[in-house]
Amino acid sequence: MSPTEPSPTIQGLANSITAFYPRIDDIATIHVDGPTAHVVTYGKPTGPTVAEYPAGAELPGFNKPGETAIRAIVGKNAYDIYKLVESNRLLRLRINASALLPADEISPGYFVGLSLDDIKLFTSGANEASRLSAATSLSASNPGQPLHLTLGRRFSLGELMPPRLIAPLMLGLAALVWLVVGYRNARQERHRQERRAALLEQEARLAHAGRVNALGEMASGIAHELAQPVAALLSQSQAARRALVIQDNDILLQALDANVREAKRAGDILGRMRAYISGAKARIEMVALADALTDAVRLVEADLVQRSIALNIAISDRSCMVAIDVISFQQVIHNLIRNAVEALFGRPEPRINLWTGSEGQDVIIAVADNGPGIDVAALDRIFEPFFTTKPDGMGLGLPLCARLIEKMNGTIEARNDDGGCFIIRLPSGGAQ
């Protein structure tokens, strides 16, 4: 080192060095004089430059001559290598980091960078900060210059998702969506079926309850219909017993005949009920209306006489034929007369009018009484099962009448005339 600086010799030497090693920017000699560092920089084409700065802040600390130190220069793409030559003299090489890596040799899409002690010296090529990039870092094996080299590659969207991969990917995605939707649909279908099964079960339970109710209704109907013949059997048996005591064979015979009739009637009613329950068709036969009515009336005559109820029968055409189930028909007439009897209880001059007539092709049979009449509010409901206005009534007589007449292709309606009046319409079967 020349004692007199700036030295043209050193400048010449530095020029040669920087020409030979383009990565060396310049060479400086530093003379530390107390707190001040005198710096002469060589190697620039413009010649040596002289500068001064505070030594403590700017220079690395050394213990003994021969030691080296390295420092990055922030923001200048360069770093300095210092060597302590004597106790107060240093030599400094300034290295251009970007010249270490030839930028023109970096392939498109790649980037390289150099850093020293975590300070970035230099970056070139594609933007390494891009989201779609991958980089790796190497440490230089030279402990005197602990540089880190970063090599990276930036990827374009097309490279990351090439169309030949995208198509199968989309297909796979579509298959996945299809599977998920299919699974969801299958689950919904299963839930639907479970709900349907639960509904069916509920429906079956309701149907069962309906059958049980219907059975109850039928049982009540049977009890209702049998009450009358059984009562008649009882009274006729008592009459027979009395006749035996007084040894009146005529009365005995009459009572026993009546018993036989009532027992047959009870049997017939049970038969009808069985047919009704099983839904069997009515046994329709062509009979003279007058005969069917006379038979029906015979069943109640004695009772009416006993209760002092007048019975007026007016048959318009004795040759009129009707297609009816005789037992069912008698049951209906019997029921209507019994209702009339109950309505007439306690009434002055009680009377029942039974008359027949015709209206177009229909035969009309009416059972009317001069009782209080049918409650107007109840008129619409009296054919409903279990509808009754009587404390001990069951409300099954009229629904049963309607059902039986329907089976004979007829209709029945109720209205108020002098009292209650029931009109049956049956298809005419012509004349005898």
- Binding residues for ligand ADP (CB under 6 A): 339-340, 343, 369, 371, 373-374, 378, 382, 387-390, 393-398, 420
Max CA separation in the chain (angstroms) = 181
Question: Among residues 397 and 429, whose Cβ is nearest to ligand ADP?
Answer: 397
Three-class SS of residue 232? helix
Angle at 99 between CA 94 and CA 100, to 5 degrees: 90
Question: Among residues 161 and 223, whose Cβ is nearest to ligand ADP?
Answer: 223
Of 351, 344, 358, 350, the closest CA to residue 312 belongs to 351
In the complex, what is the shortest distance from the CB of residue 336 to ligand ADP, in angstroms, rounded to a whole number? 7
Q: How many CA atoms lie within 13 A of 71 on its CB side?
A: 14
Q: Which amino acid makes up residue 168?
A: P
In the complex, what is the shortest distance from the CB of residue 381 to ligand ADP, in angstroms, rounded to a whole number? 8
In the complex, what is the shortest distance from the CB of residue 405 to ligand ADP, in angstroms, rounded to a whole number? 13
Question: Among residues 252 and 394, whose Cβ is nearest to ligand ADP?
Answer: 394
In the complex, what is the shortest distance from the CB of residue 201 to ligand ADP, in angstroms, rounded to a whole number? 36
Q: Are 296 and 401 in contact (CB under 8 A)?
A: no
| Count of Cβ atoms closer than 10 Å to residue 333 Cβ | 23
Of 148, 138, 107, 147, the closest CA to residue 125 belongs to 107
Question: Among residues 229 and 397, whose Cβ is nearest to ligand ADP?
Answer: 397
In the complex, what is the shortest distance from the CB of residue 217 to ligand ADP, in angstroms, rounded to a whole number? 12
Three-class SS of residue 118? coil
In the complex, what is the shortest distance from the CB of residue 340 to ligand ADP, in angstroms, rounded to a whole number? 5
Phi, psi of 181 (to 5 degrees): -65, -40
- The residue written with tokens 């008592």 in the block is 238
In the complex, what is the shortest distance from the CB of residue 367 to ligand ADP, in angstroms, rounded to a whole number? 8
Question: Among residues 247 and 308, whose Cβ is nearest to ligand ADP?
Answer: 308
Q: How many residues does the chain have?
A: 432
Question: Among residues 419 and 429, whose Cβ is nearest to ligand ADP?
Answer: 419
Question: Among residues 311 and 394, whose Cβ is nearest to ligand ADP?
Answer: 394
Three-class SS of residue 418? coil
Whole-angstrom Cα distance, residue 119 to residue 221?
108
Q: Are 37 and 12 in contact (CB under 8 A)?
A: no
